[in-house]
Copies of this chain bind each other. A is one copy, B any other.
C-alpha cells in the first residue's frame, strides 16, 4: 500500500535523524543518503510509514541517519528481518540497505530468497567492492588481483556481478546507479514504485580502502564516455558527444558498443526494453569498460507479501473466523 501525503508537503530534511553522520569524510555513502532522503520526500511517504533495515557494515549504519523507523540488525540478515517487518506491517514501506559484503558475502542466501519470492522491499546494495567497516579486506565483488590485508598477494576469487545474480535469482526489478549521480534519487523513486522486490546496486566510493575504483565511470569529466543511462523505449546512445551507442551485434546476437557515424545511425541502435531479461543480462556486464546505469530490468509481478495477505483474507472469507474454543474442540472430543 502506498499511503502518500500531498506532494511537496515533505522535505528531504524530514527524513534526517538527529544523529551525527559517522562516515569518513568524502565517503560515497553521504550522497546515497541524500538521494534516499530526496526520493522519500518526493514520493511523499510519511517518515513513520518507512522502515529501513540494514545488516552490518559502514553502509549498514544508514538507518541511524534517517528520521524513519530503522533496524541496524546483524550481518547479512537484513532481507530476512525486512521480510518479517513487511509481513507484520504491510503498511510500511520497507527498505533494505546492505553492502557488497553484507548482502553478497554472508547475506547472499537471503538476497536470493527475497528476490525469488518477490517480497515488496526496496533493496539498495552499496557496492564499494570492499569490506569497509572491517578495514579493507576484499569482498565478493572485488576484482581479481586486488591486494588487501587478507589478500596480500592479490585476491584470486572471481567476483560476482550483482545485477546478474539478481536476474538469476528471478528478480523483477534490477537497477544500477552510482553514489554521486544526479539521477540516483529518481532511481530510488522507481524502486519505491515497483511492487515486489526492487534491487538497486549503487557503485559507491570508499575513500579509505578502495578510493577511486569507480573514478573512470563516475567522474564528472570522463564518466559519460564510460557509462550509459538506459531509458525504457529509448535508443542506447551515450558519450559526452552522444557519439556512441549500443546495438545488437548482427554476428553474435548480443549487445555491443559501436561508434555512431560511418553508416551506423541511431536507428541501428538497440532500444532499451526493460522487460527483456536477456538484454538486461548483457547490460549487467558490458565488455570494454562500459557500465550501464538505470533500470536494467523491470517486469510486473505479484509481491509475496501481497499474496500472503490475499491468502489470509481468502481463508478467512472462506472459513470465517475460528475461535480458540472452536479450534481446541475440532476433531474428536469426548466428555467425561
Contacts and interface: CB of A to CB of B under 8 A. Distances in A.
Interface string A216-254: 000000000000000000000000000000001000011
Contacts of A113: 105, 108, 140
A147 interface: no
A207 interface: no
A158 interface: yes
Contacts of A153: 311, 314-315
B156 A307 contact: yes
A117 interface: yes
A40 to B, nearest CB: 28
A269 interface: no
Given A153-B311, A159-B116, A160-B116, A167 B170 contact: no
Given A109-B106, A112-B108, A253-B278, A160 B156 contact: no
B108 A157 contact: no
Contact of A117 (B158, B301, B311): B158
A168 interface: yes
Interface string A261-305: 000000000000000011001100000000000000000010010
A321 B104 CA distance: 36
A164 B164 CA distance: 10
A23 interface: no
Nearest to A301: B158
A165 B112 contact: yes
Output the residue of A116, A154, A168 with the most chain B CB within 10 A.
Answer: A168
Interface string A91-114: 000000000000011111100110
A153 B319 CA distance: 12
Interface of A: 104-109, 112-113, 116-118, 140, 153-154, 156-161, 164-170, 248, 253-254, 277-278, 281-282, 301, 304, 307-308, 311, 314-315
27 contacts: A105-B113, A108-B109, A109-B112, A112-B112, A112-B160, A116-B140, A116-B158, A116-B159, A116-B160, A117-B157, A153-B311, A154-B311, A156-B307, A156-B308, A156-B311, A158-B170, A158-B304, A160-B170, A161-B170, A167-B168, A168-B168, A168-B169, A248-B253, A253-B253, A253-B278, A277-B281, A278-B282
Given A156-B307, A160-B169, 11 more contacts: A108-B112, A109-B109, A109-B112, A112-B160, A112-B165, A118-B158, A156-B304, A158-B301, A253-B278, A254-B278, A281-B281
